[in-house]
Amino acid sequence: MTREEMARYIDHTNLNPKASGRDIECLCKEALQYRFAAVCVNPYRIKQAAELLKGSGVNVVSVIGFPFGATFPKAKAFETERAIGEGANEVDMVVNIGALKDGNYELVSRDISAVVKAAGGAIVKVILECCYLTDEEKAMACRISAEAGADFVKTSTGFGSGGATIEDVTLLRRNVPDHMGVKAAGGIRDFKTAYAFIQAGASRIGTSSGPQIIDGLSSKN
């Protein structure tokens, strides 16, 4: 795998609530330098990132219902509409974890569908926060996400009790159709780890360590 190939897997991420405008500027400069697939920022920072990346081919991702997912479908839909209006090309929404654990699958489906509709064709990734779910709940969330029209499922917010695991990525890949992607996020900080997730079935890597991952890719890889 070349540096360029690996870079196109990476959503270069800064969701730190303390991130300053200067931090986001640095994030975007690194994304341009390395030609990452996207940057991922909090909603307040969408417009800045979109202006810095305009015309570059680097997408802007923002988060919806973040980090707990425990809000109303209409609120998530409004957030999504606003995010797209500010310049986001993709949204990563947090599933309603409590509703999923209750077995309230109708609400989970309505929640995801509302975001997909509001996104108007922009890419929608559903964050499952796998560290809080059983394997059965993860598999059910994958099926609901697919039926609701989402484009990806994603392992983690990075703010839960655990991040991405190879086992979870393998499980998610097995439970979504071929046209859907799997995003691994949470604790991925070096090339060896990122590559292992790609081999397990990840089609996108969410990380705040994008440059370190690329720089750790030796010519032998």
Cite the active site residues: 92, 154, 183
DSSP letter for 201, please. Answer: T
Instruction: Give the CA diameter of the chain.
Output: 50
Q: Name the token pair of 29.
A: 């400069």
8 Å CB contact between 173 and 192: no
Bridge partners, residue 142, by sequence: none
C-alpha distances in angstroms, 205 versus 59, 110, 121?
Answer: 14, 27, 21
Which residues contact residue 146 at a Cβ distance below 8 angstroms, ignoring those fewer than 6 apart?
176, 177, 180
